[in-house]
Amino acid sequence: MRPAVTEHRFAAELEERLLRYTAIDSQSDSGSDATPSTPAQFDMLNLLLSELTEIGAADVTLTGYGTLLATIPGTVPGPTIAFLAHVDTTEQYNATAVKPRVIRRYDGGTITFPDAPGLALSPDHNAYLGTKPGCDIVTASGTTLLGADDKAGVAIIMTMARHLISTPGLEHPTIRIAFTPDEEIGRGVHPSLPGDLKADFGYTLDGGELGRIDYDSFSGDTAEITVTGVSVHPGKARGKLVNAITLASKIVDALPQSTMTPELTELHEGFIHATEMTGSAAEMKIRLILRDFEMAGLQEKADIVRKVCDAVQATESRATITCDIRKNYRNMRYVLDADMTPVELARRAMVGLGITPFSQPLRGGTDGSRLTELGLPAPNLFTGMQEIHGPLEWISVQDMNAAAEVCVAITTGAARA
């Protein structure tokens, strides 16, 4: 008989792992061409390599592309299932010298932060927090993000792995584990990874609320715009200077501001989001991310960006404006609609544990999006992480425990299928 999630049998281990993992700096860096993009990620990867070896995992390998792989040999026949999480944290907010802390038996009120007296987290700000009285809440100290994205996923997979290996007689098929770098900068899945995993399907542990299963995600592209002006000493600039900052500002101002930005869209609505604008009067670079659930919508947004660049270029022939649009990832639904086996297996596992599964449009992408596109279907499962990429990030230890139970139930359920 499966344990009820209310037993919280994995809570202590998950908490210990999360506190230890989040204290390790491992931000990725989009400006680096290295793999992984930062040396700090090796601190996490090498630690996990040692821990997987110590618990008795097989085939523990750190690949040349910076992904850590391992196997839990099956005890019965069945599909080979992969579980994946990423070791990097986002570069969007300070993630150096994280000081994780635990609020025991949360009372339902406002959470304050010792290193940021003006910062506060409450159910008024995050309604999901209002459902967690009595739970143990993990946050950082107020000046950094926490890094539960995705070290909660790492902790959950490691806890599941330790349990499967240390429980004789537990029936499960072969399990493959992968810890990837650079997910936050869109470089987490190397083209060789699906072949190296040799799995029938997989799951990323990189999701939010209890019971959530993501299989309908954004498709994403990146637009890189370069504006090259004419640099002249400002004292002698009349009739000669072409200011790249002025032209770049016109491009940003001409993009749809009232209907197609992240702060004005929701559910299945896509957007164009300016994420970076750097340079000087001589040359400016603008980075945009384009997101939509459907390919037609994504193409529409690419066309808008190109037309805006062409229109601004037409106002100043002495400048040069280029627009390079690159593919990032595609909606995993395009593949999973044809075979929902991994989604249905996860749903059955949750129902068997008394968890109500649900799915909503995933307004982002995971390593699972890219894996699915490359032939390894990989929906995304909840961990409990909330308010990610900022100082209010938090997670419930009890949600993590439920996620670990779901992972175990998926493996045993696949053995019986």
Torsion region of 46: left, alpha or beta (phi above 0 gives left; psi -120 to 50 gives alpha) = alpha
214 annotated active-site:
no
Q: What is the pLDDT of residues 239-265, one digit of tens each?
A: 999 999 999 999 999 999 888 999 999
Distance between CA atoms of 329 and 278, rounded to whole angstroms?
A: 25
Distance between CA atoms of 406 and 414, rounded to whole angstroms?
A: 12
Distance between CA atoms of 243 and 233, rounded to whole angstroms?
A: 11
Q: Which of 300, 328, 356 is the last residue of a domain?
A: 328
Same domain for 79 and 177? yes
The tokens 């601190």 sit on which residue? 43
Q: Is the peptide bond preceding residue 150 cis, with omega within 30 degrees of 0? A: yes
Q: What is the pLDDT of residue 1?
A: 41
Q: Which of 311, 328, 345 is the last residue of a domain?
A: 328
Q: What is the pLDDT of residue 111?
A: 98
* Residues in binding site for Zn(2+): 86, 149, 184, 206, 389
Same domain for 238 and 114? no
Report how many domains make up the chain: 2
CA distances from 140 to 96, 113, 116, 312, 376 (A): 11, 8, 10, 44, 34
User: Among residues 136, 150, 183, 405, which one is catalytic?
Assistant: 183
Cβ atoms of 217 and 364 closer than 8 Å = yes
Q: Which domain holds residue 408?
A: 5-217+331-416
pTM to 2 decimals? 0.90
* Element holding 102 (H helix, E strand): strand 101-103
Per residue of the chain (417 residues), give pLDDT as tens: 455 566 789 999 999 999 999 999 999 998 899 999 999 999 999 999 999 999 999 999 999 999 999 999 999 999 999 999 999 999 999 999 999 999 999 999 999 999 999 999 999 999 999 999 999 999 999 999 999 999 999 999 999 999 999 998 999 999 999 999 999 988 999 999 999 999 999 999 999 999 999 999 999 999 999 999 999 989 998 999 999 999 999 999 999 988 899 999 999 999 999 999 999 999 999 999 999 999 999 999 999 999 999 999 999 999 999 999 999 889 999 999 999 999 999 999 999 999 999 999 999 888 999 999 999 999 999 999 999 999 999 999 999 999 999 999 999 988 776
Q: What is the pLDDT of residue 140?
A: 98
Distance between CA atoms of 217 and 361, rounded to whole angstroms?
A: 6
Same domain for 178 and 242? no
Cβ atoms of 93 and 144 closer than 8 Å = yes
Q: What number of residues does the chain have? A: 417
Same domain for 167 and 238? no
Same domain for 262 and 350? no
CATH number for the domain spanning 246: value is: 3.30.70.360
User: Among residues 15, 88, 399, 405, which one is catalytic?
Assistant: 88
51 annotated active-site:
no
The tokens 């649900």 sit on which residue? 358
* Residues in binding site: 86, 149, 184, 206, 389
